[in-house]
Chain A
Amino acid sequence: MPPLHIGMLGAGGIARAHLPGWLALGARVSVYTVDGSARKLAAEYAESGHAVTAADDLGGLLAGVTAVDICTPTPTHRELALAAVAAGRHVVCEKPLALTARDAEEIAAAAVASGVRLHPAHVVRYFPAYAALRTAVARGDLGELAVLRFTRGGARPQWAPWFGDPAQSGGVIMDLMIHDIDIARWLAGDVIRVHARTRGVEHATRTPAEVVTATAVLTHASGAVSHINGLWGLPDQRFRTTFRVAGADGLLHHDSTAVPGFRITAQGVRAANEGIPTSPMTESPFLAELRDFVASWRLGGPEPRVSTRDGVEAVRIAEAAVESSRTGRVIEIEEAAR
């Protein structure tokens, strides 16, 4: 395979999470943004000798790269993905693939028609605790799954205002809980019924202390039920994810804050936000994810852990949850739509 050249669209938080992964895979990265932030990011990396440059022209960028990595705000995913697919480029797209299942399906169909890969970046499948859970479930260690619980919460994202606008981010369900919606479906299969409620301030006014939380009950075709709980909380809400998965033959549970492997117990002052980021004790899940995607680009390469359909279905379930939360009704997901 020729050397990887990645067109990275966007230079925000998720771009910064992906970039070291691409460099570890030996890729050259060209960053494109509409607000000039690409230059700043490229300069930061170029200073330390990395092959990161800023691109000024999207058309020119698409003509020259192996693949694009869409790390922009959700409302722009559709247009950018369709342009990349039309240029014959593989696409890695940050979750959610789109704000509606309809848009996600359109992107997916375009990728199929162009013969390129479309990878929804559901990175939680590459977090080691979740990967270990899935391996055990797939091996049958828990028997048939009956009831699954997932929580995910942290301080409300303040670094980019679009997160606080449900019209752009889809809100806490579409942006945050979609991670666990995908994991629930990965473990217990397709979802047929959704009920959800959202509470708190959905549309952030950028006053810091605004909380929004949502709860969703998913019913799987197997009869299993999943509780998904999401929280964009107060500024000092420590980021934490948990799961508890019970089947006929056993139980697995995990709390991301309970066994960090390493923790800082004092640093002189109480840090705002998370303070010193704790070092991961394993390979970066972002690197593992990108490597898995790249491997599938070879002729006859393995299928990645996350398929295009997985990304579409996650959006479909999240969209149903948003709809349920808005209307107060239960949303049935017809088999024909899945």
Chain B
Amino acid sequence: MKVAVLSFAHVHAAGYLRLLSRMPGVEVIGSDPDQDLAAPGEVRGRALADEVGVAYAPTYEEAFAWGPDAVIVCSENARHRPLVERAALHGVSVLCEKPLAASVADGEAMVEACRAAGVRLAVAFPVRFSPAYAAVKAAVASGEAGRVLAVSGANNGSMPNRARRWFAEPELSGGGALMDHTVHIADLLDDLFGDARPVEVYAQTNNLLHADEVAVETAGLVSVTYSDGAVATIDCSWSHPRSHHSWGGLELTVVGERATLEMDAFDQKVHGFDERRGRGTELPFGADLDELMLRAFLYGPEEGGIDVADGEGGLRTLRVVAAAYASAESGAPVAVG
């Protein structure tokens, strides 16, 4: 199995390269020619490939000429589309970093290009591979939780622009925290709610966090109403302190008619304190969600396990985000387009 990681713009590229290089039977190369928009000091291109210890293709032409069975697109959100279309042209399965695109128009074009070419388009939502989410899903799917009434979720992280500046540059990212962090929980609910679809979105945002540094929204609350009446309120803020020893997390509370469920996708950790560094420390011992996602993408889902999100699902979550931006702008609830 030959896998190429296209662009190292996203912080996840290095992690994917490492995981793929450790998978038996997988050959991996990286390619990162478009470094024009990187900030000084961001480790990109061959330097990153060398650091991780994987082969490097200086151009995308060479990466595709190598004959990959699958590619993973890790470019800036606004640059997903050309790489996905290129993969479609070459007939190569593609896993695209989330969100699917920076605009619904791009997302639609990508889904259509892959459909027309008969190429599989998947979107990188690793949290759906969390065992905690599997437990939530099992309780809901079996009917034990009863009808789901409401969900409240938080996907808070620290502002990611120090690792990669483009995250807070709207022409590349499509926005700020609302674009970056609404989609993970929206994707879980897209899966959890089955046929129920998001119909209306209300959102309020501000940029009171890091106001002196970036112009995009850094905090936001998003309420999504689904076609079965369920309501989900999501805190998508970059409100996790940057000097904190962890990156943030993802929590969900599901209120059903017959059970109340809570999950924390990233708190399988031993917590402690590091005296030498004078800060808190943690030892994650939970499942590696990225690894589970990559395995499902490359080899298909495990027996009874969840599959990667497809392009249509990625497009639905992107439409929720687009409606959220329209609502934050108008101050009123907006129908999901």
Please list the residues of chain A having a beta carbon within 8 angstroms of any beta carbon in chain B: 144-147, 149, 151, 153, 193, 195, 197, 199-200, 209, 211, 213-215, 217, 219, 222-227, 229, 231, 233-234, 237, 244, 246-248, 250-251, 328-330, 332
Q: List 7 A-B contacts (CB under 8 A).
A: A146-B237, A149-B235, A195-B204, A211-B257, A213-B255, A215-B223, A251-B239
Partner pick for B149 among A200, A209, A225, CB 8 A cutoff: A200
Q: Would you call A330 and B331 a contact (CB within 8 A)?
A: yes
Rounded to whole Å, the gap between the CB of B203 and the closest CB of chain A is 8
The proximity string for B residues 18-44 relative to A, scoring 1 for CB distances below 8 Å and 0 otherwise, is 000000000000000000000000000
Q: Would you call B231 and A199 a contact (CB within 8 A)?
A: yes
Q: Would you call A217 and B229 a contact (CB within 8 A)?
A: no
Query: How many angstroms from the CA of A145 to the CA of B219 in the assembled complex?
Result: 10
Query: Total contacts A to B, CB within 8 angstroms?
Result: 118
Interface residues of B in 235-264 (CB under 8 A from A): 235, 237, 239-241, 244, 253, 255-260
Closest residue to A215 on the B side, CB-wise? B233
Q: Would you call A250 and B241 a contact (CB within 8 A)?
A: yes
Given contacts A217-B223, A231-B255, A330-B333, contact A145 B208 (CB under 8 A): yes
Q: Would you call B206 and A251 a contact (CB within 8 A)?
A: no
Rounded to whole Å, the gap between the CB of A23 and the closest CB of chain B is 37
Q: Would you call A199 and B260 a contact (CB within 8 A)?
A: no
Q: Would you call B208 and A248 a contact (CB within 8 A)?
A: yes
Partner pick for A330 among B156, B235, B257, B332, CB 8 A cutoff: B332
B-chain residues with CB within 8 Å of residue A146 when the two chains form the complex: 206, 208-209, 218-219, 237, 239
The proximity string for B residues 139-164 relative to A, scoring 1 for CB distances below 8 Å and 0 otherwise, is 00000000001101010100000000
Q: Would you call A227 and B233 a contact (CB within 8 A)?
A: yes
Query: How many angstroms from the CA of A195 to the CA of B334 in the assembled complex?
Result: 13
B: interface residue count bin: 35 or more
Please list the residues of chain B having a beta carbon within 8 angstroms of any beta carbon in chain A: 149-150, 152, 154, 156, 202, 204-206, 208-211, 218-221, 223, 225, 229-231, 233, 235, 237, 239-241, 244, 253, 255-260, 331-333
A-chain residues with CB within 8 Å of residue B210 when the two chains form the complex: 248
Q: Would you call B257 and A200 a contact (CB within 8 A)?
A: yes
Closest residue to B222 on the A side, CB-wise? A217
Of B221, B225, B244, the most chain A CB neighbours within 10 A belong to B221
Given contacts A151-B152, A211-B255, A222-B208, 5 further A-B contacts (CB under 8 A): A197-B225, A199-B229, A233-B260, A251-B240, A329-B333
Query: How many angstroms from the CA of A220 to the CA of B199 in the assembled complex?
Result: 26
Query: How many angstroms from the CA of A105 to the CA of B331 in the assembled complex?
Result: 28
Q: Would you call A224 and B221 a contact (CB within 8 A)?
A: no
Q: Would you call A193 and B331 a contact (CB within 8 A)?
A: yes
Partner pick for A225 among B204, B255, B332, CB 8 A cutoff: B204
A-chain residues with CB within 8 Å of residue B221 when the two chains form the complex: 147, 217, 225-227
Rounded to whole Å, the gap between the CB of B85 and the closest CB of chain A is 37
Of A225, A248, A332, the most chain B CB neighbours within 10 A belong to A225
Partner pick for A147 among B229, B239, B241, B331, CB 8 A cutoff: B239
A-chain residues with CB within 8 Å of residue B233 when the two chains form the complex: 215, 217, 227, 229
Closest residue to A246 on the B side, CB-wise? B239
Partner pick for B219 among A195, A197, A246, A332, CB 8 A cutoff: A246
Q: Would you call B206 and A223 a contact (CB within 8 A)?
A: yes
Query: How many angstroms from the CA of A197 to the CA of B199 in the assembled complex?
Result: 14
Q: Would you call B152 and A229 a contact (CB within 8 A)?
A: yes
Q: Would you call A217 and B149 a contact (CB within 8 A)?
A: no
Query: How many angstroms from the CA of A147 to the CA of B156 in the assembled complex?
Result: 11
Query: How many angstroms from the CA of A225 to the CA of B223 in the assembled complex?
Result: 13
Rounded to whole Å, the gap between the CB of B204 and the closest CB of chain A is 5
Query: How many angstroms from the CA of A215 to the CA of B156 in the assembled complex?
Result: 19
In the A-B complex, list the 7 residue pairs whose CB atoms are closest, starting with the nearest: A246-B239, A146-B208, A199-B149, A147-B219, A197-B231, A223-B206, A146-B219
Partner pick for A197 among B150, B240, B256, B331, CB 8 A cutoff: B150
B-chain residues with CB within 8 Å of residue A224 when the two chains form the complex: 206, 208
A-chain residues with CB within 8 Å of residue B230 when the two chains form the complex: 199
A-chain residues with CB within 8 Å of residue B204 when the two chains form the complex: 193, 195, 217, 219, 225
B-chain residues with CB within 8 Å of residue A332 when the two chains form the complex: 331
Rounded to whole Å, the gap between the CB of A289 and the closest CB of chain B is 29
B-chain residues with CB within 8 Å of residue A227 when the two chains form the complex: 152, 221, 233, 235
